[in-house]
Amino acid sequence: MSRDQILALIDAATSAITSHADELTRLDQAIGDGDHGSNMARGFQAIAAQREALGELELGDALQKAGMILVTTVGGASGPLYGSLLMGIGKGLKAGKGTTEALAEGVESVRRRGKSDVGAKTMLDVLVPTLEALRGGASPAELRGTATASREATRPMQASRGRASFLGERSIGHYDPGATSSCIDPRRLRRAGDVGMNGVVGIVIVSHSPKVAEGAADMVRQMVGDEVPCAWTGGNPVGALGTDPVKIRAAIDQVWTQAGVAVLVDLGGAEMNAEMAIEMLDGDRSSFVRICNAPIVEGAVVAATEASGGGSLEAVCAAAEELGP
């Protein structure tokens, strides 16, 4: 994983936890000490404060160091548990294990540290089912669904570990705070850190009219946000109605990732120039670019939405093309 990817992962995780800190605190006030949100926010802000140094490390080393930061800055049980998770994943990666088995090592570290397992109303009630789904080849959207459903399943449980266990039956009817923090916005983290280390599919919008192309791109950003790379181009080389293969190639370069680029075009001439632009790409990059036969506005929004969930290039184009030309 590159330095920029590590930094993006840190920023995404910090943003996700910080933005949900109040929610986590409210949940913990019901069945815990009432400090889970503030503790987690403090820990990830401490990681963010060292983001530049972490970005210079290999991913395994960065995760181990980040885990140690959590152990030393997060109060209560959350620090040792989340710290063990990150350090375990980092240890697995440094041992040459793949992403899934490195995650498994992190989950096992949480089991050992917390002396707990699934069914005790803890973060393991999200981590273990999500790991099993990942081993089963689940898509990013399916992983998110598994994590959310697993968190929902903690509500009717009676806690048998942690501070909530002291409440006995009174812990029933409340979501577990640790399980909740374990499934916060996993799509955002997946996009930033990228499990496959390839990034998310980029979107290029090509129109004969610069205003049409820019408007479609603006709609994508308003609907999906800036997490999916999106570029637009329109007009011929002198600015009149038309398209330009050189500009299209530049737009592809702008949003390029190894996950691929989906190009949406409006009229026949735009498609022809897009094909030329793809042929102009260096090396084998042309095999990672596909022209989608879909309306540029609706198609671009649907394609970007699929890409935001970590969909493959084929899945992104298929989703857009369901709308028809």
Looking at the structure, tell me whether residues 257 and 117 fall in a common domain. no
**In the listed set 193, 220, 251, which residue is the last one of a domain according to the structure?**
193
Looking at the structure, tell me whether residues 25 and 166 fall in a common domain. yes
Please tell me the predicted confidence (pLDDT) of residue 197: 44
Mean predicted confidence (pLDDT) in 267-271: 89
pLDDT tens-digit map of 286-304: 999 999 999 999 999 999 9
CATH number of the domain bearing residue 36: 1.25.40.340
Mean pLDDT for all residues in the chain: 89
Mean predicted confidence (pLDDT) in 139-164: 88
Could you tell me what percent of the chain has a pLDDT over 70?
94
CATH number of the domain bearing residue 263: 3.40.50.510
pLDDT tens-digit map of 110-143: 999 999 999 999 999 999 999 999 899 877 667 8
Q: How many domains does the chain have?
A: 2
Q: Which of 231, 260, 256, 235 is nearest to 245 (CA)?
A: 235
Strands 289-292 and 230-234: unpaired
> Which of residues 44 and 142 earns the better pLDDT score?
44
CA distances, 209 to each of 43, 105, 296 (Å) = 48, 53, 12
Contacts of 215 (CB under 8 A, 6+ apart): 297
**Alpha helix ranges (H) inside the chain:** 3-19, 21-31, 36-49, 51-55, 59-73, 78-94, 99-114, 124-135, 140-152, 177-182, 186-193, 210-224, 245-255, 268-279, 296-308, 313-321
Looking at the structure, tell me whether residues 189 and 222 fall in a common domain. no
Looking at the structure, tell me whether residues 167 and 227 fall in a common domain. no
Mean predicted confidence (pLDDT) in 147-163: 93
Region label for 284, one of left (φ > 0), alpha (ψ between -120 and 50) or beta (otherwise) = alpha
Mean predicted confidence (pLDDT) in 178-182: 93
Q: By mean pLDDT, which of 6-10, 85-89, 138-142 is the weakest?
A: 138-142
Please tell me the predicted confidence (pLDDT) of residue 196: 40
Looking at the structure, tell me whether residues 163 and 266 fall in a common domain. no
Indicate the pTM of the whole model: 0.63
Looking at the structure, tell me whether residues 176 and 216 fall in a common domain. no
Looking at the structure, tell me whether residues 244 and 184 fall in a common domain. no
pLDDT tens-digit map of 219-239: 998 888 777 889 999 999 888
Q: By mean pLDDT, which of 140-144, 238-242, 270-274 is the weakest?
A: 140-144
**In the listed set 193, 218, 238, which residue is the last one of a domain according to the structure?**
193
Cα–Cα dist 180/123, whole Å: 7
Could you tell me what percent of the chain has a pLDDT over 90?
68
Token reading at 189: 């983290």
Mean predicted confidence (pLDDT) in 270-278: 95
Contact 101, 159 (CB under 8 A): no
**In the listed set 193, 212, 230, which residue is the last one of a domain according to the structure?**
193
Please tell me the predicted confidence (pLDDT) of residue 190: 52
Domain range enclosing 118: 3-193
Looking at the structure, tell me whether residues 237 and 177 fall in a common domain. no
Looking at the structure, tell me whether residues 154 and 55 fall in a common domain. yes
In which band, very low, low, confident or very high, does the pLDDT at 75 lie, cut at 50, 70 and 90?
Answer: confident
Looking at the structure, tell me whether residues 207 and 289 fall in a common domain. yes
Cα 16 → chain centroid = 10
Looking at the structure, tell me whether residues 178 and 206 fall in a common domain. no
Residue 4 has pLDDT above 50, yes or no: yes
Mean predicted confidence (pLDDT) in 269-278: 95
Contact 232, 261 (CB under 8 A): no
Looking at the structure, tell me whether residues 103 and 189 fall in a common domain. yes
Burial of 285 (0-12, 13-18, 19+ CB in 10 A): middle
Please tell me the predicted confidence (pLDDT) of residue 12: 79
